[in-house]
Chains A and B, each alone.
Chain A
Amino acid sequence: MSKRQLAMVMDLNKCIGCQTCTVACKTQWTNRNGREYMYWNNVETYPGTGYPKNWMELGGGFDAAGDLQEGIIPNIEADYGVPWDYNFEELAQGKQLTPNIEPTWGPNWDEDQGDGDFPNDNYFFYIPRICNHCTNPGCLSSCPRDAIFKRDQDGVVLVDLDRCQGYRYCIAGCPYKKIYFNPKISKSEKCILCFPRVEQGLPPACAQQCVGRIRFVGFLDDEQSQVHKLVHQYKVALPLNAHKGTGPNIYYIPPTEAPPKFDANGNVIEGSNRIPHEELEKLFGSEVHGAIKTLKSEMKKRKETGKSELMDLLIAYQHSEMFRLDNNYYKSLANTKLAPLDNRYIKGKNTHKISYFKAGH
């Protein structure tokens, strides 16, 4: 466990599946050098196959006794999908728009399909997913080279690319399949929670760019942070698949708001909700019922009295309030020799030459 833990809360009631976060992450980190197929951030439709295909069934994580579980490494061609591109430049010469490969699978192949009978009780919602920067990471536990580490100062889980030998046990060990193998450099890579941005006081790119302002970022132990209030005070933000035993640190406000169902004659069934609570329980555990209750009652309170701190908070008026990153905290760490910033990711434990990726650029 790290000394402090940076966490993110995502409000699923407000996610519209626009993929702006996905694009923000991709252009920042994964559109090059063997990372093309990776989505450190993706937004998937639930119910659905997800990304990679059926990731929830691919093992990893821990059992109730705390033993690491076996897992399966997904395949790019079958499970992630080979990225394709189009001949945009040739369109001016009158050519047809054609993909460079025949697309057979990709993230969001089943986007918006959902489940249920249209139009009576069909439903779906979006789950944006990044690395959970777990308290007890499955990837870290399965690495036979000790190449994965959790930063003490903020709990960000990183791969020491210098130690990584490309064995890929980490992918089997992660129950979220949020660590990827880069075939070009034969090493594993993953979401770094935009730590170079965070250290400068900026939120991760996915959170900054989110048009629905659904993402809150801050330290869990910082009582002033909205993350702390949502997770610990109101207990409306819950981790995904916590039963996998890794202690995920990305939290979700469960989707409580959905249109009512229709009866056989096409009439609205008053008071009905299309999203089955059993499905939410599968994802967020039994605590989800308490969270829904709190959300509903605060919503009602706001409607009746015009006052609710929780609702004000979820409206997300100001980025400055949603993101509490404490730039001075990182600066103070950089100045003290006692708790240096872990720079292994930047220059490698055994690399003598100093990298030009210095803080400050």
Chain B
Amino acid sequence: MKKLFYSIISSSFLTLSAWANTPVIVVHKVLDDITNIDVGSSHWRGAKETQIILYPQTTITLNDKKANELNANNTAQTLWVKAITDGKHIAFKLRWHDESKSVQSGNVIKNTEFADGFAVQFAAKYDDPTKLPYIGMGSKDRPVVVYLQKAVQKLFEPNGNGDVHKQVNRANVHAFNSLINHDLEKFDIDVEQLAVRDYQKAFVAEGFRSMTEIKDHSTKFNAQMQYQTKWFGQNEWEGVVVRSLNDEYVKFYNDPFPVAFAVWDGAKMGRDGLKNLSTWIIAQFEGVQGRDGLKNEFDKDLTAANIANGETLTKANCASCHNYGNVNEAASSYMAPNLSNIGGYSTTPYLIESITHPNAVVVPGYNRNAHSNFAWYYEDGQGGKTSAMPSFEYLTQEEINDITAYLKTLKAEVK
């Protein structure tokens, strides 16, 4: 036990020194229009590739037994990211290893296929780096916009907008009356043309469960993913997302901005929360000197912190509700977010805020009926939520730093 303790400590120090260099994606400026850019475009050549680590989502456990078994020993994974802008749009190119190409075929006899995919998430507001949205799809009053691309072969959604109300049988006479001025032939043509639909979606979200698709084209974007089979080295996916620099959801100024990434592995039945995700990553425009508030906060100096003391404090203050790593002392694993990878996908300011002001970001967690004895928050009946977690503001600044520094070490290793 003692030996294990020391090995945790020593590995923690190693991790800490590595984490001090927050990766920064440099958004390369190109001259041509990039609206229709794809993974093979030559515009990517000038952009620098940044290495980012994605960590398995372990905050909540979903209820698919087989999938949980497949994902029980997930490790962290590497994602390589490039970014470019033409002054009107911004594009990200992602690259990650995946030995198995999983495509959801839409075949009527295949109901247990899951697609590989990726998502890019932006914070709607990021002027205050200490109050960024929660990494898991935002939080109340701190919305995010998510662009999602999945490897789905053919999605039969006959009106092409993802609406389902047009899914009628051609024998349904009510669907073809004068109200919508549709005749049967036109319906057939529509279905034929629109049934093939690439699975790319944009969402706004203010926390788990609230994710809502943007269907009115108020965010202009395009996405693509392509599987690369390599003769040498590992097979990988390449993905691209391009969107307008400014729309009603997110506006980019000269300042560095936060962006986050997630990747799903269909072979492991990945979907929804069964994914690997990054923390907020800083992206900055090449050659532009913006305010570096984000970087200052993200790199907040915790090197003076005492991680061993942080571990003791975490055990004393947090472990009765939160499980993490090998510490499983909570009365129920459904009681509070599992912190096993919290250091991987959280920023320093978020951890400090959560310790001192747990109500600032309330993680909705499970459906309220799913584990009704373990509410993560209380409702005031007017839309307000109070976290079940008490504030630990009474701890000294040093103690909070020690805990934060320890929490930053809680994360899976890269395979």
Contacts and interface: CB of A to CB of B under 8 A. Distances in A.
Given A72-B66, A142-B370, A161 B164 contact: yes
B106 A184 contact: yes
Contacts of B113: 183
Contacts, number: 148
A136 B373 CA distance: 14
Contacts of B357: none
Contacts of B288: none
B156 A146 contact: no
Nearest to A32: B169
A146 B272 contact: no
Contacts of B65: 59, 70-72, 172
B209 interface: yes
Contacts of B169: 32-33
B62 A169 contact: yes
Contacts of A361: 174
Interface stretch (B28-36, B127-135, B210-218, B317-325): B210-218
Contact of B179 (A65, A351, A356): A356
B3 interface: no
Nearest to B203: A165
B369 A136 contact: yes
Interface in A140-184: 140-146, 161-163, 165-169, 172-173, 180-181, 183-184
Contacts of A60: 63
B156 A140 contact: no
A100 to B, nearest CB: 12
A77 B112 CA distance: 10
A340 to B, nearest CB: 18
Nearest to A143: B367
B157 interface: yes
B68 to A, nearest CB: 7
A263 interface: no
B370 A67 contact: yes
B177 interface: yes
A85 B366 CA distance: 43
A72 B63 CA distance: 9
A63 to B, nearest CB: 10
Contacts of B105: 183
B180 A183 contact: no
Contacts of A70: 63-65, 68
A256 B367 CA distance: 40
Given A73-B64, A169-B62, A145 B211 contact: yes
Interface string B351-381: 0000000000000001101111100000000
Contacts of A173: 63
A121 B246 CA distance: 76
Contact of B367 (A34, A141, A184): A141
B332 interface: yes
B20 to A, nearest CB: 35
Interface string A348-361: 11111101110001
Contacts of B367: 68, 140-144, 146
Interface in B158-214: 162-165, 167, 169, 174-175, 177, 179-180, 199, 208-213
A357 B108 contact: no
Pick from B65, B209, B216, B373 the residue with the most CB of A within 10 Å.
Answer: B65
Contacts of A137: 369
Interface string A3-30: 0000000000000000000000000000
A289 interface: no
B109 A37 contact: yes
A60 B64 CA distance: 9
A141 B367 CA distance: 5
Contact of B165 (A136, A144, A357): A357
Contacts of B106: 183-184, 186
A252 to B, nearest CB: 25
Given A144-B209, A184-B156, A185-B155, A33 B112 contact: no
Contacts of A349: 212
Contact of B209 (A69, A146, A185): A146
Interface in B263-295: 271-273
A183 B109 contact: yes
A137 B369 CA distance: 9
B148 to A, nearest CB: 9
A70 to B, nearest CB: 4
Pick from B68, B215, B370 the residue with the most CB of A within 10 Å.
Answer: B370
A186 B373 contact: no
Nearest to B374: A67
Given A67-B332, A165-B272, A142 B109 contact: no
B107 interface: yes
Nearest to A351: B163
B110 interface: yes
Contacts of B109: 37, 76-77, 82, 183
A277 interface: no
Interface in B324-348: 332, 334
A243 interface: no
Contact of A350 (B64, B112, B180, B215): B215
Interface string B371-404: 1110000000000000000000000000000000
Contact of A356 (B107, B167, B175, B210): B175
Interface in B197-250: 199, 208-213, 215-216
B172 to A, nearest CB: 9
17 contacts: A36-B108, A73-B64, A76-B109, A76-B112, A143-B367, A144-B208, A165-B271, A167-B271, A168-B271, A169-B62, A183-B106, A183-B113, A186-B104, A347-B165, A348-B163, A350-B212, A351-B165
Given A66-B371, A145-B272, 11 more contacts: A59-B65, A80-B111, A140-B367, A141-B369, A144-B272, A144-B273, A162-B164, A167-B272, A184-B156, A350-B213, A351-B215
